[in-house]
Amino acid sequence: MDFKWRRSVLIGGVGLSLSLWLLDSLHHTIANLGIVTPSIVLVGAVGAGLWFSRQRPLPPVQPRRLALVERGMVERAIDQVRHALTQLETEAATNYPALHQQVADLTAELDRSDLRLAVLGGQAVGKTTLLSALQGAVQTPTQCALHWQDTSPLFTPATDGESIAAELPADLTLFVIAGDLTQPELQVLHQIVAAPQRVVLVVNKQDQWLPHEQAIVLQQIHDRVKDVMSLEDVVSIAALPRPTKVRQHQPDGSIQESLETPTAILAPLIQRLQQILIQEGQSLVWTRVLRQTYQLRSEVQMTLNVVRRDRALALIEQFQWIAATTAFANPVPALDLLAATAINGQLILDLGAIYQQTFSLQQAKVAAGAIGKLLFQLGVVELSTQAIGVVLKSHFVTFVAGGVLQGMSAAYLTRLVGLSLIEYFEEQSLSGSEQPAAASLNLGRLAEKLQAVFQDNQRLAVLQGFVQMGMAKLSSVPQLASVEAILPESVS
């Protein structure tokens, strides 16, 4: 698998490395004419911004309030999984009976009548006490059984709040907090809603505040969650109020003190739960099935991506050495421009076809030029050439500065850009973006992929192995007078 990963880094740089020369040649002409196209301005701005930000993480997407899920929505999602599974079996030429069974199980789940509720929260928030108090106290709709589930405490070394929130086998989750909502708790709440999963935020231990303090805390919580969930689903309770000291005056004038435990304040929560179960009972089941469907679709798509990656690596392997031999064997600048146009456009076109991305040949050429510009803006061209040059001078006595360095640099850039495109296309497929147009290529996101791939492939051992393989390829390449002599028939 390691060999495959190393090969995979080959992708689109073929044309990209060559189009670097094209862009460099055109740069002075464009500057002299005073032409500044919007795409060049955009690419330059994006590249410069990413260079200075050093790949700062994107802010998390704020989940929206969870909408009521209908059966038709889930059925359409299941149909999408069936379609993806058919695509997988077609491309892999293999049957996946286990995945077919999971699809059938999801379909059967749509008619489930019992409901599953989970209580989630950190340590010492009172969730176990609350669970005991609610069992038997919540009235369910006719012919509907409730199954309660306790969970491991969040925010401990042994638990991961994000994964627990996403994998809860529940139709409705009670997320219990005690006091103001902390930032880690808010992040978990976002994960629950984005799963998607129905949630009620339970603010426990309200008896520990004075009445005016309760109002302040609840208002702060409302302000933080109003864009995430309905405020009706934020309920304040006291599952186990603290004992209070009571003084009783005796007939003889003495005073007797004792501790009494007030009655639990659970009515607001019980009332809200019963409303949800009556109004949304079946939708709760469908919401969970929808979440499971998304998870299965992701599993199918990841399997399909593995199949496609193998095909993409073979394509990249071919174009990588086309880029190397073109740059090494062609001393005529005009032929370099021809290679940049033909190889660059064809590489992106063929790679996009593997990942079901819709590109025309003209769109592929435009995208290739934009990516080539990104390579300059991010400094990848200069740094890659320097790294390859160091390896060549250190390990090859017959090092020829011009053609060899040019050819190896072109191949290495192809490798970097190729893997970046694979990573980008796979991310698109997992996000549910199917067959986007070339115009929607997110250059900022692609630049991030390119930077990450570049950092992962700067190890000396990787560079040495790559250069050794490239030198073996270039040692048999004659000086050619025409680029068509080395391009595959589909490209030329």
What's the order of all strands across the beta sheet hosting 115-121? 146-150, 115-121, 172-177, 198-203, 234-236
In eight-state DSSP terms, residue 265 is B
Helices then strands, each counted (H, E), the chain: 16, 7
Q: Are 293 and 106 in contact (CB under 8 A)?
A: yes
Q: Tell me the angle at which helices 361-377 and 333-354 cross, rounded to the nearest 10 degrees.
A: 110
* Cα–Cα distance, 406 to 335 (Å, whole number): 14
Would you give per-residue pLDDT tens digits along the chain (492 residues)? 433 333 333 333 334 343 434 444 444 443 444 444 433 333 343 343 333 333 444 344 444 456 788 999 999 999 999 999 999 999 999 999 999 999 999 999 999 989 999 999 999 999 999 999 999 899 877 778 899 998 888 888 776 655 666 667 899 999 999 989 999 999 999 989 888 889 999 999 998 888 889 899 999 999 999 999 999 999 999 998 887 777 777 787 777 776 777 889 999 999 999 999 999 999 999 999 999 999 999 999 999 999 999 999 999 988 888 888 887 766 555 455 456 556 777 888 888 899 988 888 888 888 888 888 888 888 887 888 788 887 777 666 555 545 777 778 888 888 888 889 999 999 988 876 554 444 467 888 888 998 898 888 887 778 888 888 887 777 766 544 333 444 444 444
Q: What is the pLDDT of residues 49-61, one digit of tens each?
A: 333 333 444 344 4
Q: 266 by DSSP, 3-state: which?
A: coil
First to last CA, the chain: 32
pLDDT of residue 489: 46
Largest interatomic CA distance in the chain: 120
Count of alpha carbons within 13 Å of 179, Cβ hemisphere only?
7
**Residue 309 carries which side chain, given as an amino acid letter?**
R
* Cα–Cα distance, 365 to 15 (Å, whole number): 9
Where do we find the tokens 């059925």? 75
Query: What's the Cα-to-Cα distance from 264 to each of 210, 280, 384, 467, rounded to whole Å?
Result: 16, 27, 68, 73
pLDDT of residue 93: 95
Q: What is the DSSP string of 213-281?
A: HHHHHHHHHHHHHTTTS-GGGEEE-BSSPPPEEEEEE-TTS-EEEEEEPPPPB-HHHHHHHHHHHHHHH
Torsion of CA 406, 411, 413, 419, to 10 degrees: 180
Residue environment code for 282-295, b if the CB has 16+ CB neighbours within 10 A, otherwise e:
bbbbbbbbbbbbbb
Q: Give the residue from 281, 288, 438 showing the smallest Cα distance to 359.
A: 438
Q: Are 386 and 57 in contact (CB under 8 A)?
A: no
* Cα–Cα distance, 370 to 436 (Å, whole number): 17
Domains of the chain: 2-58+302-485 (no CATH), 109-292 (3.40.50.300)
Q: Are 8 and 418 in contact (CB under 8 A)?
A: yes
Q: Give the residue from 386, 367, 387, 379 showing the smallest Cα distance to 451.
A: 379
**Residue 41 carries which side chain, given as an amino acid letter?**
V
Q: Are 308 and 190 in contact (CB under 8 A)?
A: no
Is the backbone of residue 176 left (phi > 0), alpha (psi -120 to 50) or beta? beta
Burial of 388 (C-beta count, 10 Å sphere; 0-12/13-18/19+): buried
With a CB cutoff of 8 Å and minimum separation 6, the contacts of 273 are 134, 138, 172, 200
Length of the chain measured in residues: 492
* Cα–Cα distance, 129 to 207 (Å, whole number): 15
pLDDT of residue 382: 82
pLDDT of residue 25: 44
Burial of 127 (C-beta count, 10 Å sphere; 0-12/13-18/19+): buried
Peptide bond preceding 196 in cis form (omega within 30 of 0): yes
* Cα–Cα distance, 305 to 91 (Å, whole number): 10
Q: Are 273 and 137 in contact (CB under 8 A)?
A: no
Q: Give the residue from 7, 4, 15 showing the smallest Cα distance to 375.
A: 15
Where do we find the tokens 């790559």? 466
Strand 198-203 versus strand 172-177 pairing type: parallel
pLDDT of residue 393: 72
pLDDT of residue 330: 66
* Cα–Cα distance, 198 to 287 (Å, whole number): 8
Where do we find the tokens 């062609």? 330
